[in-house]
Amino acid sequence: MKTSAIGKAALISREGVKTRAYRDSVGVWTIGVGHTAGAGAPIPKAGMKISYAEALSLFDRDIVKYENPVNEAFQGIELTQHQFDALVSICYNIGEGWFTGRRKGGTASFVKSIKVLNFKKAAINIMKFTEPKEITTRREAERDQFVTPYETRLPKGRSNDASTVKVNVPITFEQRTSISPPVTESVSTAISTTTFAGQLAKLWAWATNYRKPNVIRAYEPPPGFKGNMNVYKVQVELRAKGYTEVGKLDGFRGEDTDGALRSFILDNGDDLNKTQGLYKYDYTTLSYVVTGKPKKVDPSRAFADTRDVAHNAPEVIAPVNSLVRIGLSGLGLGGLVETLQSVRDAADSASQTADAAQSAIAQAKPVLDVLGPFFGFMGRNPGLILAGFGLFALIIVTPQVGRIVQMFRDKRIN
């Protein structure tokens, strides 16, 4: 793994950039971004000066020497980007011996905790390295960085800083979601600079990241969200790729979500048997979906409706159409019954129009006789009950019609 631009910005904020050699809190000659003789040439000494650009170039070279022991110590353990960045920052400060064990006393307690996947205890043990006391706020910031994904909050240089670090390049999808592929941004684009070269670097970073597929996406679940956040992110990305069959974005894995992921895997030309691990809905799944191809839309089906489905797949739409007919019949029959009932009630109460009423009742009598058995079962308002039943049937069937049409558009129904 490599330190991300966010991690570099945080580390620079903690170390500072010094163009003139100075003695650190324990008396060691230092220059640039915490560069000491232990990191190799050049050897800092009294009166030594370097340019700002040289300090950043030296830092880009030095940080590799601290990434290597962290990678070595946790080989085979899947660290997220914010965890890796925090550990590199700590290694940069306390030295690689605490990570590799090649020192008197062996490895640090937080390293041992991570090796047994006890990240909660590791966060506690990080705070054992707070000597001298001036380093406490830095260690607190590194601990917070270790436990807090970048998508939740960017890190601070020190815990008592008023704000988080500033990163002047577009934050990549991997950094935002704590996925950990190599990040190769130059640190000169990760911090503020007023030089002309720095402004050009910022412009180039913006231009080369503009409209890339791995864009920032704000994962903000709806109020009252109780689902799994990783499943929710995958659902959001599948929807963004055009797989509307994913269903509700609720964070719960179900038939719709699994079906959408299955379709995505097949559309991207991968073997279902070799991608079973993707159904864990972890960061690997999220990365796979984001970097995959969007759904191809068949132009001939883009605007398909129920008539197209009925023509091409009548056996699928037939049951739904039957329920629609039942619903409409219920509404129509209910309205007719209510009308006839109103006529009879009006006739009973209007003695002055008895002859006209008797004629109306005589015309309505055949229908009322047919529906008579239902009246006793449905009470005094059979028309309203019939209409309510019809409306209920339509409410149930309407979403299913839309779903079937969408499945036809997605070519899941041929």
Write the single-letter amino acid at 179.
I
* pTM greater than the 0.85 cutoff: no
What's the CA gap between 147 and 67, in Å, rounded?
Answer: 19
Containing 31, the helix (H) or strand (E) segment is strand 29-32
Q: Which bin fits 52, alpha (ψ -120 to 50), beta or left (φ > 0)? A: alpha
The pLDDT value given to residue 187? 38
Q: Report how far Cα 238 is from the mean position of its chain's Cα atoms.
A: 10
| pLDDT score, position 391 | 79
Which pLDDT score, from 0 to 100, does residue 374 have?
53
C-beta separation of 163 from 143 below 8 A:
no
pLDDT digits (tens, 9 = 90+) for 177-208: 433 333 333 333 334 444 566 566 656 555 54
Low-confidence spans in the chain with pLDDT less than 50: 169-194, 208-217, 377
Burial (CB < 10 A; 0-12, 13-18, 19+), residue 396, is exposed
Q: What is the predicted pLDDT for the residue at 310? A: 67
Alpha-carbon gap, residue 281 to 403, rounded angstroms = 25
